[in-house]
Amino acid sequence: MLQAGTKAPDFSLPDQSGKEVKLSDFLGKRVVLYFYPKDNTPGCTRQACAFAGNYEAFRAQDVVVIGISKDSIASHLKFAEKYDLPFILLSDPERQAIEAYDVWKEKKLYGKVSMGVVRSTYLINPEGIIEKAMPRVKPDTNAAEILAYLQKEDA
């Protein structure tokens, strides 16, 4: 996991409509970059819906929300449409950003070891520096934790 104070690695990945998006496109804004394992799975759906439910609060603070997984553009489009997700979902099948942000890790499930995306979130400041790194986040509370942090910062 990259640490707070580190320059956020730039990347260029397609969103759910196939448009290339670069992290550097958002310099001057705070960015919530959340990495998740897979579209349409229970935890990932709850996490995405929590971000969607809090989306206006993020927008009110001029914060961009971006979700990244290995899923295809088509999978992201279906996921976004099914749950009315108003934010950017980026497709990273080659693990360009996933590996740059050090979230591709060994995981254990029921004693079986495999490699996969560890659910992690980064808050990137307007200068492109990682402000907060959150490893192994909980899908149900991740969005609210970031909002609480942002509101505390603004107080």
| 20 contacts 13 by C-beta, under 8 angstroms | yes
Residue 75's identity, in one-letter code, is S
| 68 contacts 97 by C-beta, under 8 angstroms | yes
Query: Among this protein's residues, is 44 annotated catalytic?
Result: yes
Cα 32 from chain centroid? 6
Using CA atoms, how far residue 85 sits from 36, 91, 103, in Å, is 15, 15, 23
Q: Name the active-site residue from 21, 23, 33, 44.
A: 44
Q: Which residues are catalytic?
A: 44
